[in-house]
């Protein structure tokens, strides 16, 4: 049987454990999650394991990053299974605030408001308060855990850029590491929200990645970005998605680009399939 990770439920308990490791001169990596762990999350945990002596995984469904109409109460919560999976991966500590007020105590009144990549006109155009919620909770996690490394998935590419920028702008002494997207055999990016898909929707869902890859290939061959994106948008809509965006952006700043010469480029997509909103992205 794998050894169960330690469990911290309060900031004080978390800090006691972190202090022990620091006194022993050990390095620490943090993997922030909202739980409902799948292979994508576990790949981040494995990457973290290779970087540092100790590995902390946080599990907190952050209400501040859900809009009122979004799925905060319905979001899948599978804590016991998550901890068992983390034991298999030899995680050292699970940081799971006992309740929302451990993270946001009575009177909480301070938020991080990111700009730059957080205002790129991608996710932020559809979820206006999302990155404020993400940046605020991630800043708190960084300050609570004070890790040497923090691992985030490229799956949430704009989030990765926002968090990387924030760590640099606030002189936080840690390195943000991006990890490649883990996919199902048919190409669908793994996501805790894929459980919402009906069987029919699940069959159509891999279209997003297929279109992204095809567009990336054509752009790399030097064809007009605007023409290729128009074709890609049509293909996604023909497959019954309600498309939010399909865009080519500078891979670091997320600013608009007009040709591969403006590169490195990233293609990013978001689309609604029935009740489920899917996002994905690829490099060019």
Binding positions for ligand AMP, rule: CB under 6 A:
33-34, 40-41, 43-44, 152-153, 155-156, 179, 181-182, 189-192
β-strand partners of 278: 271
Whichever of 121 and 180 has its CB closer to ligand AMP, that residue is 180
CB 43 within 8 A of CB 54: no
Q: Is the separation of the CB atoms in 151 and 29 below 8 Å? A: yes
Residues 7 and 13: their CA atoms lie apart, in Å, by: 9
Q: Give the separation between CA 260 and CA 107, rounded to whole angstroms.
A: 49
Minimum CB separation from ligand AMP for residue 258, in Å? 28
Half-sphere exposure of 94 (CA within 13 A, CB side): 25
250 counts as catalytic:
no
Closest distance to ligand AMP from the beta carbon of 183 (Å): 7
Smallest separation (angstroms) from ligand AMP to the CB of 33: 4
Phi-psi region at 187: left, alpha or beta (left = phi > 0; alpha = psi -120 to 50): left
Minimum Å distance from CB 32 to ligand AMP? 6
Exposed/middle/buried for residue 44 (C-beta within 10 Å: 0-12, 13-18, 19+): buried
Segments in the chain forming alpha helices (H): 11-23, 39-51, 79-88, 100-103, 123-126, 130-145, 157-169, 199-204, 207-220, 225-238
Residue with tokens 């009575």: 106
Contacts of 225-230 with C-beta under 8 Å, sequence gap 24+, read 225/257, 225/258, 225/259, 225/260, 226/258
Least Å distance, CB 179 to ligand AMP, is 6
Beta carbon of residue 230, minimum distance to ligand AMP (angstroms, whole number) = 28
Pick the catalytic residue from 14, 31, 32, 41. Answer: 41
Catalytic residues: 41
């Amino acid at each position: 049987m794998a050894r169960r990770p330690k469990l911290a439920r309060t900031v004080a308990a978390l800090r006691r454990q972190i202090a022990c490791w620091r006194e022993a001169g050990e390095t620490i990596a943090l993997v922030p999650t909202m739980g409902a762990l799948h292979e994508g999350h576990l790949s981040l945990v494995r990457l973290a394991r290779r970087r540092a002596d100790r590995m902390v995984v946080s599990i907190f469904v952050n209400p501040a990053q859900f809009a009122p109409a979004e799925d905060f109460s319905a979001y899948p919560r599978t804590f016991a299974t998550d901890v068992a999976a983390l034991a298999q991966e030899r995680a050292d500590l699970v940081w799971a605030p006992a309740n929302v007020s451990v993270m946001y105590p009575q009177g909480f009144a301070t938020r991080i408001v990111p700009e730059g990549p957080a205002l790129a006109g991608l996710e932020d155009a559809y979820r206006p308060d999302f990155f404020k919620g993400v940046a605020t909770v991630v800043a708190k996690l960084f300050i609570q855990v004070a890790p040497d490394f923090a691992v985030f998935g490229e799956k949430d590419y704009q989030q990765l850029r926002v968090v990387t920028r924030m760590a640099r702008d606030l002189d936080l002494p840690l390195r943000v590491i991006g990890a490649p997207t883990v996919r199902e055999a048919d190409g669908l990016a793994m996501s805790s929200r894929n459980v919402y898909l009906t069987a029919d929707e699940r069959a159509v869902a891999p279209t997003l990645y297929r279109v992204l890859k095809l567009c990336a290939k054509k752009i790399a061959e030097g064809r007009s970005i605007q023409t290729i994106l128009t074709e890609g948008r049509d293909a996604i809509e023909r497959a019954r998605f309600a498309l939010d965006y399909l865009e080519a952006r500078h891979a670091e700043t997320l600013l608009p680009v007009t040709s591969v010469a403006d590169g490195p480029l990233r293609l990013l997509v978001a689309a609604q399939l029935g009740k489920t909103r899917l996002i994905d992205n690829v490099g060019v």
